[in-house]
Structure 1
Amino acid sequence: MREPFEEAVQRRGGTVLKVCRAVLGPGPDADDAWQETFIAALRQWPELDPLMPLEPWLVRVAGRKAIDVVRARNRRAVPLGELPERGPAVGSIASDAVEHGVEVWSAVAALPERQRLAVAYHYLGGLPHADTAALIGGSPESVRRASSDGIRALRRQWTPERMGAE
């Protein structure tokens, strides 16, 4: 028998939020993707196989909802009163995150898209590389490489020397 929906949200909500934040960064878009994930889960709840592992399924749904937000961002125009000043290069955003006390989510968000998705699904969502490859495309080996490259980049940015530790 499947656990009550409310209990599933409490037990697995943190993992789902980690995946959403890893793909979208912290903020309202990640919160919206989290909410959409559980709305979709609630709709499917009566038909779900009680023997199906719930957390990997929720991680997949969260990933798809987060990708929907990314696609929607790319489709809609953002009106600007005046042009913004040129911000820092993407590569420097994550390295500045430590210096300015920004959470790790900023560093993850600064990764190239494929690395960010691979890290989010595999390390934060707990999906095997084969399942991650099915979600983002490519082979399990290419996803393994992308997640490894992403973790390596994060480790370079979050070394004790750069964080001011002795």
Structure 2
Amino acid sequence: MKPFEQIVAVHGATVLRVCRAVVGPSDADDAWSETFLAALRAYPALDVEANVEAWLVTIAHRKAIDLIRARGRAPIPLETLPESISTIGLPEKSDPDLWPALAALPPKQRQAVAYHYLTGLPHRDIADILGGTTDAARRAAADGIKALRLRLAAAPPPERPTPELTLRPAPVAEGTSP
């Protein structure tokens, strides 16, 4: 195996391009550093026949995605506090029909839908969590979405108050009769 320093010298620019493409130039250096730290830990166990560049690009992609997710969870400082209580994290406030429909799904479908569509986990990770195959996790998510669509399509539309109409006579020009 080549010394790790040579791996960095040969593939460092490629990894940096991947990081810039995924997270942008401002966060690319952080993703690049995280990539090579993870690669350094795993390098001794890497198969001699492995495609090192592809392996590094895969790590870079995952580290860049991790960075994007971490930035998305970071609090945003505000100059003034909002006037009302936020409904973020209170699903019943944002869509009163969706959450009862989701709760009515069988547990594996509900979990597969939540893990895949709400958190973005790939089906293979969902299979590990739920204990099954990737195909079973994909099927559970698809069946859950289908059931939600059917249930929500059958639900009557929410009642909305009808505005009261006030009829006023049209203005009449001077010298004419209505």
Which TM-score applies when normalising by structure 2? 0.44
**More contact order relative to length (CA 8 Å, sep ≥ 6):** 1
Larger Rg: 2
Which TM-score applies when normalising by structure 1? 0.47
Counting helix residues as a fraction of each chain, which structure ranks higher?
1
